[in-house]
C-alpha cells in the first residue's frame, strides 16, 4: 500500500483533468479538514477521493453564493446553436469557461454524453458530459425551468490544496481516525446563474405578480 506522499502524485495527475477545480486564480484560503473512522491504518485512496469530492461540494456552494442571477425564456436559446454560443448571446461581454447544469439541463445539450471514462475513480459529476459542461447534483432540478451556472474561469485551486494536504491517522480503540487537512481556496472568477423558463411559466408568474399587487 502506498503512503500518502507516494499517492499524492497520482491524485495530482488524476485531478488535472478537472481544470475547473484544479487551476483557479487564488485570492485567499481557509483551513479545512475531512475526517473518517476506518478499520485500518493504511492510506485509503477511497477516503482521499471522498475528500476531493468534499472540496468540489464546498467550491460549488461558494460558486452559487457569488453568482449573479439572470432570468431568460427558453426562446432565448436558439435551436441549432451550441449551449456555449447561446450563453454568449445572452450575457454581454462575458466569455463562458465552464457550464454547470441541473439534471434536466441536459435537454440543452441535446442529451449529449461524450467521452466519459470507464472505470473512473471519481464520482460521475466531476467529469464533463460535453466539452466544459457538467451535470451538477447540487443544482436544484425543477420540472418547469432549467438552472445553469456559468463561470469564466476555474472555481478552485485544487493543485495547491493537494500540494499542501496533510494526511494523518490516529488510533481510537479498535478503529483508526483518518484526517486530511487542507486549504480551501477562494478564487477570482465571475459567475452567472441563468434561470431558463418556458413561456407559459413566465406568463403565469407575470399574472400572479399583477394579481398580488392588486
Q: What is the pLDDT of residues 173-187, one digit of tens each?
A: 999 999 999 999 999
DSSP alpha helix (H) spans, 4-156: 4-15, 19-22, 45-65, 83-90
pLDDT at 201: 61
Across 47-61, 110-124, 162-176, least confident range: 110-124
Overall average pLDDT of the 2-6 stretch: 84
pLDDT at 120: 84
Q: List the beta strands (DSSP E) in 52-137.
A: 68-73, 98-101, 133-135
Domain of 122 in residue numbering reads as 4-213
Residues in contact with 73: Cβ distance below 8 Å, sequence separation at least 6, in sequence order = 196, 197, 198, 199, 202
Alpha-carbon gap, residue 15 to 126, rounded angstroms: 9
Pairwise pLDDT comparison (52 vs 202), residue with the higher score: 52
CA angle 62, 64, 70 (to 5 degrees): 150
pLDDT at 30: 97
Task: Read off the pLDDT of residues 69-92 as tens digits, 9 standing for 90 and up.
Answer: 999 888 878 776 888 888 998 998
**Phi, psi at residue 81, to the nearest 5°?**
-95, 145
Using the predicted structure, report yes or no on whether residue 23 has a pLDDT greater than 90: yes
Overall average pLDDT of the 105-110 stretch: 76
Q: How confident is the model at residue 127 (pLDDT cuts 50, 70, 90)?
A: very high
Number of domains in the chain: 1
DSSP string of 114-169, one letter each residue: --PPTT-SS-GGGS-SBTTEEE-TTS---SSEEEEEEESS-S--HHHHHHT-EEEE
pTM of the model: 0.88
Overall average pLDDT of the 126-154 stretch: 91
Grid cell at residue 54: 468534499
Pairwise pLDDT comparison (212 vs 159), residue with the higher score: 159
Overall average pLDDT of the 93-100 stretch: 94
Residue 27 neighbours by CB distance under 10 Å: 11
Across 46-60, 87-101, 190-204, least confident range: 190-204
Beta-carbon-side half-sphere exposure of residue 2 (alpha carbons within 13 Å): 12
CB 195 within 8 A of CB 160: no
Across 12-21, 99-108, 156-165, least confident range: 99-108
Using the predicted structure, report yes or no on whether residue 1 has a pLDDT greater than 70: no
Amino acid at each position: 500500500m502506498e503512503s500518502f506522499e507516494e499517492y499524492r502524485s497520482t491524485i495530482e495527475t488524476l485531478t488535472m483533468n478537472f481544470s475547473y477545480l484544479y487551476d483557479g486564480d487564488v485570492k485567499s484560503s481557509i483551513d479545512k479538514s475531512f475526517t473518517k473512522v476506518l478499520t485500518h491504518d493504511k492510506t485509503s485512496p477511497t477516503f482521499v477521493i471522498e475528500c476531493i469530492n468534499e472540496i468540489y461540494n464546498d467550491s460549488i456552494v461558494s460558486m452559487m453564493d457569488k453568482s449573479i442571477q439572470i432570468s431568460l425564456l427558453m426562446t432565448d436559446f436558439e435551436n441549432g446553436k451550441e449551449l456555449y454560443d447561446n450563453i454568449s448571446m445572452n450575457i454581454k461581454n462575458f466569455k463562458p469557461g465552464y457550464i454547470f447544469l441541473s439534471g434536466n439541463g441536459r435537454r440543452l445539450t441535446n442529451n449529449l454524453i461524450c467521452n466519459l471514462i470507464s472505470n473512473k475513480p471519481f464520482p460521475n459529476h466531476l467529469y464533463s458530459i460535453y466539452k466544459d459542461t457538467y451535470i451538477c447534483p447540487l443544482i436544484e432540478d425543477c420540472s418547469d425551468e432549467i438552472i445553469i451556472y456559468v463561470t469564466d474561469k476555474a472555481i478552485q485551486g485544487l493543485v495547491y490544496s493537494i500540494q499542501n494536504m496533510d494526511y494523518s491517522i490516529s488510533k481510537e480503540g479498535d478503529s483508526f481516525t483518518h484526517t486530511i487537512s487542507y486549504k480551501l481556496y477562494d478564487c477570482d472568477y465571475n459567475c452567472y446563474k441563468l434561470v431558463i423558463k418556458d413561456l407559459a411559466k413566465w406568463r403565469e408568474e407575470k399574472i400572479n405578480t399583477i394579481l398580488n399587487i392588486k
